[in-house]
C-alpha cells in the first residue's frame, strides 16, 4: 500500500488550515493526500432521540468532505486527493490512520497572547500514541507564513522558505528524527537550524572564581558534540545549509525562542512501552503549546 499524507479534517478553522498545509506537504513529497473525517459512534439511547437527525448529519458530513476535497483539487491540481469517512473513537481511528501514512496532520487552536495554543485531548492523545510523524497546524496558518519576505517586504509563498528548526538531544540523538528534519529542509530548500540546550554548571549560581572559564569550556564541548552528531547528516544531505545552535538554558525555552522565524519545527517523542503508557516529553509539550509554526512530532525508539 502506497503511503499518503493524511489529514484529520473537521469543520473548524484549524481543521481547514491543517488540510491546506497537508496539501502543500503532499505536493512537496509527491504523495497523494488522504482526507479523513471521523464520526463518533452514537449511543443507542441518543440515536432514538427524535430531535437528532442522523441521516441529515451523514448527508452533511459526506457533502462537507467532498466539497473540501474538490476545493483542494482546484487549488492544488497536481496532487491526488482521496477521501475517507470513518466511524469510531476519534483518537483511536486517527492513530490507526497514521499507521498507513507518511505523516498525519491535525489542527491546533490558538488561545492568543502569551497563553500559547490549545492542544485538544484528541490531538494530544494521537501525538502521544502514534508511531508515525504527526504535524499540528494552527488555525491561522497560511502558505505565506512559511516563507521569508519578498523584496517588497511582504510575506510571499514565492519567496524562499523560512528555516526548519530541529530540537535535538545530543545525549540520545535518533536517526529517525534527524532524517525527518534534514529531509524536510531539503524538500523546502531551507536552512536547517539544529537547536541544542545545555545547563549552566551548579556553581554558576554562586559566581565562584573560574566560573566564566568553566562555562566557556562547557560551551565549546557542547558545540563540539553537536557538530559530531550532525556531521554524518551534513554529508548525507550536502545541499542543506545547517546552522548549529548550542545554547545555555532551559531546553524548552531555548527551542521556543529559536523557533520564532521557523517554517516548521521538528521535535521527537520517545516511544515508551512501560506501565505508565504513552508520554510526551516536556520539551515537546512546550513546543506544541507555544510555537506558532507547524510542529512535527516524530516518534522514535
pLDDT (tens digit, 9 = 90+) per residue, 162-184?
A: 999 999 999 989 999 999 999 99
* Model confidence at 251: pLDDT above 80: yes
Check pLDDT > 60 for residue 40: yes
Instruction: Give the pTM.
Output: 0.90
114-173 tens-digit pLDDT: 445 556 778 888 999 999 999 999 988 899 999 999 888 887 888 999 999 999 999 989
Q: For position 110, what pLDDT does the model report?
A: 55
Distances (CA, A) of 166 to 187, 205, 224: 15, 29, 17
CA-CA distance, 272 to 301, in Å (whole number)?
A: 8
N-to-C CA span, the chain: 24
What angle, rounded to 10 degrees, do the helices at 251-258 and 282-290 form?
30
The Cα 242–Cα 254 span in angstroms is 18
Residue 273: Cβ within 10 Å count? 7
- Distances in Å between the Cα of 274 and the Cα atoms of 91, 170, 270, 280 are 20, 23, 12, 13
**Residue 267 contacts by C-beta under 8 Å, 6 or more apart in sequence?**
166, 167, 177, 255, 283, 284, 287, 295, 296, 297, 298
**pLDDT value at residue 123:** 87
pLDDT value at residue 29: 97
Mean pLDDT (the chain, rounded)? 87
Task: Give the pLDDT confidence score for residue 115 in this predicted structure.
Answer: 46
Amino acid at each position: 500500500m502506497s503511503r499518503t499524507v493524511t489529514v484529520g479534517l473537521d469543520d473548524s478553522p484549524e481543521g481547514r488550515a491543517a488540510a491546506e498545509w497537508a496539501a502543500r506537504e503532499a505536493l512537496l513529497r509527491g504523495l497523494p493526500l488522504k482526507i479523513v473525517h471521523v464520526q463518533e459512534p452514537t449511543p443507542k439511547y441518543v440515536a432514538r432521540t427524535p430531535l437528532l437527525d442522523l441521516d441529515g448529519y451523514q448527508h452533511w458530513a459526506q457533502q462537507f468532505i467532498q466539497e473540501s476535497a474538490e476545493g483542494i483539487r482546484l487549488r492544488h491540481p497536481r496532487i491526488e486527493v482521496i477521501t475517507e469517512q470513518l466511524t469510531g473513537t476519534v483518537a483511536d481511528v486517527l492513530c490507526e490512520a497514521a499507521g498507513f501514512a507518511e505523516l498525519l496532520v491535525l489542527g491546533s487552536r490558538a488561545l492568543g497572547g502569551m497563553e500559547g495554543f490549545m492542544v485538544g485531548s484528541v490531538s494530544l492523545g494521537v501525538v502521544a500514541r502514534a508511531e508515525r510523524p504527526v504535524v499540528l497546524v494552527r488555525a491561522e496558518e497560511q502558505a505565506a507564513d512559511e516563507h521569508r519576505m519578498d523584496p517588497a517586504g511582504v510575506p510571499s509563498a514565492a519567496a524562499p522558505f523560512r528555516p526548519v528548526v530541529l530540537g535535538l538531544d545530543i545525549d540520545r540523538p535518533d536517526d529517525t528524527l534527524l532524517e525527518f528534519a534534514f529531509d524536510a529542509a531539503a524538500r523546502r530548500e531551507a536552512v536547517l537550524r539544529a537547536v541544542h540546550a545545555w545547563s549552566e554548571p551548579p556553581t554558576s549560581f554562586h559566581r565562584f572564581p573560574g566560573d566564566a572559564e568553566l562555562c566557556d569550556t562547557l560551551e565549546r564541548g557542547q558545540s563540539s558534540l553537536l557538530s559530531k552528531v550532525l556531521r554524518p547528516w551534513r554529508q548525507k544531505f550536502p545541499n542543506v545549509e545547517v546552522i548549529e545552535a548550542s545554547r545555555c538554558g532551559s531546553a524548552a525555552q531555548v527551542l521556543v525562542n529559536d523557533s520564532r522565524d521557523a517554517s516548521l519545527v521538528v521535535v521527537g517523542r520517545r516511544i515508551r512501552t512501560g506501565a505508565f503508557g504513552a508520554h510526551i516529553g516536556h520539551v515537546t509539550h512546550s513546543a506544541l503549546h507555544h510555537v506558532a509554526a507547524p510542529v512535527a512530532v516524530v516518534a522514535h525508539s
